[in-house]
Structure 1
């Protein structure tokens, strides 16, 4: 009660003197009666405050991918040999259906008969696909992990940074450099040189994250009480203050118990932590079920948030989907409880641990949804491990809804609103904005309603995204730019130019059972991509390759 009264007092003073709030949810919390999502003494909404940030490794490679490292980087224990049951470095198997460039492994074929292939982060198409997923799921920002760049991995890390910049610009996402200083022997001098000579140049990009008008940089690993992070508080403070002198907004990836400086935090580090503009305590390995989530909320994170509010520090707690291999996810309930708690806490932002961390099993990126998508004979756990079927993109969609709750776009709710299968089990993603990719690996385009529709776009823009409208009766309507897609009753090429919904604007959504869907018009015929060679039609009497579309892939 004392903490609640103190928080409300601080909040009232902040409002009285005109302190700014973020745009996140400010509805009354039904649990404790306090305002949720209100920043008491923090920064205004920017590229990280009030936003969802994902940790992005970008550290996978394959022999023959053209990368400077030319190795099975991070897929294996022995990077010089192909991934296999005896040479494995990952805990979760990715869903690779969206990638055009994949590489053959030594694993047996998938249970669906397809070859067991993996992607390379060095491929432009891979990183573009990841940032497209971020765009489709309203993920605002990616924190690109950067480890000691002075060893043999430096050139590939440099190359991937440039690729991330391009992808972020293409798909309208933000990114910033997140230095993981683990094991970096000459960190104090070399991190400054790396920023000055290489990374600072990226801040001129329109996609580089800014907060309070300053480029964002994160340093992960100061104060951890182990041999891999040996620096004194004075050394760490020097580095923080140097980055601030360069005009940066500096985030600290700090130990879980940073404030009390017990067990995982080195002693006498509190003043160093206070020098950061934002704090993001690490949570991987700390929680594994909903009870753990609530215990940390009650016993640690409320006091963390109050301390940050009282000291003018922004707070960006970690939210994690859970280790899939350890059966922590509970088909999204584990992750959603964290979103709920952090929004009612009033956190300034949320950091997702992680986007593509297949090594630790904490990835939200597309993952094998059932046994048909993992190598035969392997023991990889799939998203349906507890008997609830989940689509490969489920944790991306869950993150989207968590972000919507953070921003006040949906009400604070303890009940997870995200269906494990789009459409609440119907398989139809009502209310979502989707893309449709034809068998020619190109996207369906509305042509802005100015001419007949085509399936010939290599990238996603506004004309290639459709909102799925529910007209009732199990039908679907596709909308773009305020207009509806029309089959033209098969009499002429399809258009997206109708202002009202009639029979020709309604389609049956057919799940083909192979990861694709088809659309049947009111004339009983199927929509065809026409392989992108001519305008799309609704004239086919049977489903073939050109009548199949992949959603959000």
Structure 2
């Protein structure tokens, strides 16, 4: 995707970038293709503001140039692209209809289900008809809503958009955005409640409307929206995705709990293993086995499953470890005997260990070997009942 916003020399530099660098990546099987062609998206043509100053002929030249390179070209365009008013610069109809796919931007335009219904009647349905008449695919934007703006309504706002866009006949959906935390408008894992946000920050969590939601809720909601788009779920206006998974075993009892450790290096402290971020990690002192990490679950509880991981981009390694439990933090008994556990990037660098214990408040993992680095290492320590 090329974002042309504020890019004064975009006409020449976009072509040069594709020729000298990006076109080489289309040989990869991971590169997106549509109708057998490599996909390029150009965001920002036709906007009626100072950051998008080019005339229609300049923009049309760029679109046609990419099509001449054999590309399938998507246009990230103003929501008024068809009527050429509002946020759309007049005279761009030929540019819009030169794209292989139109993807109108909706962030900032809607904030509740009623807004989505208005857009469905007045923009999306006639948009689909126009695209069909001109042989263009249609990929509208669907957004979860701004948490700080209290727009989300525990998923009902986003689901109404899924329902409206699919019944309008959209060929695809552009989900905005994966990790746009600055706008509070992301589907990536998000704070579930105030205890998971920085004290005094003023940031809101997913339960701001009184309904508890799991951190991964909007990822699950998006997956169900994708299934409905593909016809794997019946078209329904009623959101099928529960905000919290029904099984009590789905709650990570270690998340954001108090930890302890035998040692750490630099800033790789034990708390990193329970912060929910797969990229942060605990690392013990090097070349000094045995080492251990401990979590206080806050109360005596049943433990049946422990999930461990190292950062997903790391190479494979086998760590030898054992797991002990305690009710009081001083007397421990062995729950899992010492064994080697392989962390493989092909399977997410994660291992699941079963255990059967009740009345344990503290868990301690003792490390005695690591084939990937001479220290104990964990980015995730999750405990489930």
Alignment partners' CA distance in 1, 2:34 and 2:184: 30
Per the alignment, do residues 216 and 357 of structure 1 end up closer, same or farther by CA in structure 2, a change over 3 Å counting? same
Q: Which has the higher contact order (CA 8 A, sep 6+)?
A: 1
Alignment partners' CA distance in 2, 1:405 and 1:239: 35
Per the alignment, do residues 266 and 548 of structure 1 end up closer, same or farther by CA in structure 2, a change over 3 Å counting? closer
Alignment partners' CA distance in 2, 1:454 and 1:327: 47
In the alignment, which of 240, 245, 255 is matched to residue 68 of structure 2? 245
2:27 corresponds to: 204
Q: CA deviation at 1:204?
A: 1.4
Alignment partners' CA distance in 1, 2:238 and 2:340: 40
TM-score by length of 1: 0.50
1:384 corresponds to: 207
Q: CA deviation at 1:423?
A: 2.5
Count of aligned residue pairs for this structure pair? 299
1:173 corresponds to: none
Alignment partners' CA distance in 2, 1:436 and 1:350: 36
Work out whether residues 142 and 176 of structure 2, in 8 Å CA contact, stay in contact via their aligned partners in 1.
Answer: yes
| Alignment of 1:301 onto 2:187 | no
Match of 1:380, SS state, is coil
Alignment partners' CA distance in 1, 2:27 and 2:94: 31
Equivalence map 1:21-420=2 (5 Å): 178-420=1-243
Q: CA deviation at 1:366?
A: 1.2
Match of 2:41, SS state, is strand
| Alignment of 1:549 onto 2:382 | yes
| Alignment of 1:461 onto 2:347 | yes
Match of 1:549, SS state, is strand
Per the alignment, do residues 274 and 326 of structure 1 end up closer, same or farther by CA in structure 2, a change over 3 Å counting? same
1:182-238 deviations in whole A, cap 9, x for unaligned?
000111111101111111111111110011111000000000011110111111000
Per the alignment, do residues 441 and 464 of structure 1 end up closer, same or farther by CA in structure 2, a change over 3 Å counting? closer
2:307 corresponds to: 437
Q: Which runs of 5+ in 2 are unaligned?
A: 252-304, 319-338, 371-377
* Over 6 Å off, 4+ runs: 439-445, 462-466, 527-530
TM-score by length of 2: 0.70
Between structure 1 and structure 2, the one with the greater Rg is 2
Alignment partners' CA distance in 1, 2:364 and 2:234: 40
Q: CA deviation at 1:416?
A: 1.0
Q: CA deviation at 1:528?
A: 10
Per the alignment, do residues 403 and 296 of structure 1 end up closer, same or farther by CA in structure 2, a change over 3 Å counting? same
Work out whether residues 154 and 211 of structure 2, in 8 Å CA contact, stay in contact via their aligned partners in 1.
Answer: yes
Bigger fraction of residues in strand: 2
> CA RMSD of the aligned region, Å?
3.3
Per the alignment, do residues 390 and 242 of structure 1 end up closer, same or farther by CA in structure 2, a change over 3 Å counting? same
Q: CA deviation at 1:306?
A: 1.1
1:424-469 deviations in whole A, cap 9, x for unaligned?
6x3539xxxxx97327779999xxxxxxx96321424299699xxx
Work out whether residues 310 and 350 of structure 2, in 8 Å CA contact, stay in contact via their aligned partners in 1.
Answer: no
Work out whether residues 284 and 320 of structure 1, in 8 Å CA contact, stay in contact via their aligned partners in 2.
Answer: yes
Work out whether residues 308 and 350 of structure 2, in 8 Å CA contact, stay in contact via their aligned partners in 1.
Answer: no
Work out whether residues 454 and 529 of structure 1, in 8 Å CA contact, stay in contact via their aligned partners in 2.
Answer: no
Work out whether residues 310 and 343 of structure 2, in 8 Å CA contact, stay in contact via their aligned partners in 1.
Answer: no
Match of 1:323, SS state, is coil
Work out whether residues 317 and 351 of structure 1, in 8 Å CA contact, stay in contact via their aligned partners in 2.
Answer: yes
Q: CA deviation at 1:307?
A: 0.9
